[in-house]
Structure 1
Amino acid sequence: MPWAWKRPTAYAAYATCVCTAAYGLMKLAQALGANALADKDPLPPDLRRRLLARDPLFVASHWILFTLAIVGIVIALATIRPWGRRFPRWILLTATWTAGIFMIVRSLGPVGYGFVGDTLVLTGVQPPPPQHAELARHLARWDLMLWSPFFLLWGLLWTATAWRFTRTTRT
């Protein structure tokens, strides 16, 4: 079947690229030394301290995440562009479905941060340690307003891209 990249259903892949690029650029900025929302990253206090102190492990992780964002953009585009036929179909399907499901699960937060975890912290059902209570509530609010919705949108876009690719490349 021809790979029609001008169909309206291909827009999910383009929107996936936009979200991936935004995340990747934020990680690049952090790798180069900018704060770029690093202080809003929902991490336990000890890891948060290391992140803000520019621990070499975190700097390296930012470079790795930036590189993965570039790979993600290529994968999303490969599902709708003719040159994407050079990639094995199973690799593109595995990558797109896995990314989408992972991000949706992260946004829901059955364990830790996400809509469920943040709500449990903010309502007091799962109170954080007293010495970090205010920081935990602050980070939970940021996660509830910014990160969880972003990861949910991004995950839904990845799954829409995967679904479209699955349907358009069936033999």
Structure 2
Amino acid sequence: MTNESMTASLAVSRPVPVVVSVMGTAATLAAWAVQPYLPGGRDYITALGIVPDWMPCAAGLLGLGAALAISRGVGRRPVVVAGWIASALLLWAAVGVVFDGFRAFFWATGIPAGDFAQVDWPGFLTRAAAFVASVALARTVLAYQRVTGAGCDECGRRAGAEAWQAAWPAYAACALACVYPAVKFYWWLGGGFGRSTDFNETGAPVMSALLLAGSVLLSLAVVRPWGRRLPRWMLLLAGWSLACVHILQGLIPVFAGVNRLLGGPELPFGSKDDNFLVITAVYGSWSLFGLSLAAAVLSYGHRTRKECAQCGH
């Protein structure tokens, strides 16, 4: 397939991700550039050594270059590698957007939350743009791989190939969803091991219980027969959203550790810290839950998708 035909095929089959990738990466660069000059800035991410100051710029430039190269049908291998690296770096730049969302909720509702009701609006703008760009660029790169690969341009499957299907990721997600609520209930009941100095909740962790119930039900819905009664789009949307949130949150210590290796500030916790084991368990369970749920939702999507109109598989 020539570069011109690849570009035309991608433009016809996946027009939205390419446009959103270019716009998202450009918006990330613009938001990063004006962030220091916007009012209302409150640094509760970079100061912790999670995201380097230059990360949104580097990720945005690499992502913008990859998106533009894909739109022109430039060489497959270097563009695909650059695209996936840029998508991962944009995800790193977006770390903290979940905190921003919670803070914005408390700010908007007026529910007492102390400093947690204060929002870093300029940083929120940059992180939100980076998250959108990361997702859009990943979709663009995946579409480009399909168009330039040996499989179907629409679904990516090769003739005779079986779609990956497995039930165990959903049950693994059920188990991993219990870790964080179990820790919260343990502290609420008076347990002291690994208890955070910031934990001062006096009431029952109702929100944790609700999140646990919702996570378990969602994990089971994609593998149990009763889940077929629910709209497919709803399960896919809820599943991918919840998986992304937990992966973003769970990878915070990993990103902070990499930043430290790159010369960033000291980590806010160490292997000798009293909270180290609990921090590892909580954040590790979040990331593993997100990855397990993503795998479960991917398998569910393969099992329930309609026959491809282009190749018939």
Tell me the residue number matched to 2:264: 125
> Which residue of 33, 52, 62 maps to 2:190?
33
Q: Identity over aligned residues, as a percent? A: 26
**Tell me, which stretches of 5 or more residues in structure 2 are unaligned?**
1-163, 307-313
* Deviation, structure 1 residue 140: 8.2
**Tell me, which stretches of 5 or more residues in structure 1 are unaligned?**
1-6, 40-47, 129-134
C-alpha distance in 1 between matches for 2:165 and 2:232? 21
Structure 1: which amino acid aligns with 2:302? R
Contact 2:236-2:301 within 8 A present in 1 as well: yes
* Deviation, structure 1 residue 151: 2.5
Q: SS of 1:38's equivalent?
A: coil
Once the two structures are superposed, what CA deviation does each residue of 1:77-120 show, in whole Å capped at 9, x if it has no partner? Answer: 111111112222222112211121122222322xxxx2121454
Kindly report which structure 2 residues correspond to 1:94-113, keeping only aligned pairs within 5 A, or say none: 94-109=237-252
With over 3 angstroms needed to count, the CA separation of the structure-2 counterparts of 1:55 and 1:25, relative to structure 1, is closer
C-alpha distance in 1 between matches for 2:250 and 2:195? 18
C-alpha distance in 1 between matches for 2:189 and 2:278? 23
> Which residue of 174, 179, 185 maps to 1:22?
179
Tell me the residue number matched to 1:115: 254
TM-score (norm 2): 0.39
C-alpha distance in 2 between matches for 1:136 and 1:124? 16
* Deviation, structure 1 residue 11: 0.8
* Matched length: 141
> Which residue of 154, 159, 164 maps to 2:289?
154
Tell me the residue number matched to 2:216: 73
Tell me the residue number matched to 1:168: 303
TM-score (norm 1): 0.66
C-alpha distance in 1 between matches for 2:189 and 2:226? 32
Contact 1:118-1:140 within 8 A present in 2 as well: no
Contact 1:21-1:70 within 8 A present in 2 as well: no
Tell me the residue number matched to 2:11: none
Contact 1:78-1:84 within 8 A present in 2 as well: yes
* Deviation, structure 1 residue 144: 7.2
Tell me the residue number matched to 2:235: 92
Contact 2:251-2:283 within 8 A present in 1 as well: yes
Contact 1:118-1:143 within 8 A present in 2 as well: no
Provide the aligned C-alpha RMSD in A. Answer: 3.1
Q: SS of 1:165's equivalent?
A: helix
With over 3 angstroms needed to count, the CA separation of the structure-2 counterparts of 1:24 and 1:136, relative to structure 1, is closer
* Deviation, structure 1 residue 63: 1.8
* Deviation, structure 1 residue 142: 4.2
C-alpha distance in 2 between matches for 1:166 and 1:81? 14
Contact 2:165-2:300 within 8 A present in 1 as well: no
C-alpha distance in 2 between matches for 1:163 and 1:21? 22
